[in-house]
Amino acid sequence: MTDMERQLNGYRLTTAEIVYRLPDHLHVLQTYIWQSLDLAPNFPELRKFLTFWEREIEGPLHSVKVANVELLSPARARHVDVSFALH
């Protein structure tokens, strides 16, 4: 499926800020930014990535913040109350 088809099927641009501990220095936190098209509110792509992270990467997760936005949305129209003409 193309990105355009995914967006038409409800996928949104999802950004996750992943904070994790360094394996050799557990008191030190590091940040990783992950971004992809995903389905809210279950976020299957992000969950798949986090499962991979916990299985394959030594740095234990500390926290994950998620934000998402629709890239394609219906056109929005507003009525104009005032109009000015300049000569």
pLDDT digits (tens, 9 = 90+) for 29-52: 999 999 999 999 999 999 999 999
Q: What is the pTM of this model?
A: 0.78
pLDDT at 34: 97
What is the number of domains present in the chain? Answer: 1
Decide if 60 is inside a domain.
yes
pLDDT at 39: 94
Decide if 80 is inside a domain.
no
Residue 60: cis peptide before it, omega within 30 degrees of 0? no
Decide if 82 is inside a domain.
no
pLDDT at 1: 83
What is the CA 39 to chain-centroid distance, rounded? 10
Is the sign of the CA dihedral 25, 57, 3, 70 positive or negative?
A: negative
Decide if 87 is inside a domain.
no
Segments of the chain with pLDDT less than 70: 73-80, 83-87
Decide if 45 is inside a domain.
yes
